[in-house]
Structure 1
């Protein structure tokens, strides 16, 4: 994956426009879970969404998923299988959201 930096990020609203701020996903056990869309953004390597369980406290861990275009043209969320890609995107999200440090 190429070097990602906050200066190369474009905010997106593809998921928000298609599904709204609450998105229901099916977890590994087959149960439906409602997530709140925290952020979505695009980089040169793809589009990503940051989600948090709707019932979670604000400082609870988030889920980072890749946004792809589905066969029907609607955006879909997929798991980021590549560990390096996931780590790069997680670091980028931290860079975008954490206060600037000198």
Structure 2
């Protein structure tokens, strides 16, 4: 990965690789099922918008940055920066309301 957190290769489609359902292991070692809602590029970086069943009930989403490892396999990284998270969240909202006026 280069200094800007970007990668040298093109990020593949997570949906094509894994489908709409992802199983991720948390820091506590527990496995959680997620639904891939969208994959989008914002500011030259790729992001996955995912949601667990509990988050769906609460109307929440999770945003993860997609980067490539040394084997060009996609890796998901937490987005720690609030401004970065908000930018991606707004882009996702815009995608949801594309062609419609926002409420």
Structure 1 consecutive aligned stretches of length 4 or more whose deviation exceeds 3 Å: 54-59
Structure 1, unmatched stretches of 5+, are 1-11
* TM-score normalised to structure 1 length: 0.74
Query: How far is 1:81 from its partner?
Result: 1.6
Aligned length: 91
Question: What is the distance in 2 between the residues matched to 1:55 and 1:25?
Answer: 15
Q: How does 1:50-89 map to 2 (within 5 A)?
A: 50-54=49-53, 57=56, 60-89=59-88
Q: Quote the RMSD (CA, aligned, Å).
A: 2.3
Task: Give the match's secondary structure for 1:61.
Answer: coil
The question of whether the paired residues in 2 share the 8 Å contact of 1:14 and 1:75 is answered with no
Question: What is the distance in 2 between the residues matched to 1:69 and 1:30?
Answer: 22
Structure 2, unmatched stretches of 5+, are 1-10
The question of whether the paired residues in 1 share the 8 Å contact of 2:67 and 2:75 is answered with yes
Question: What is the distance in 2 between the residues matched to 1:58 and 1:96?
Answer: 21
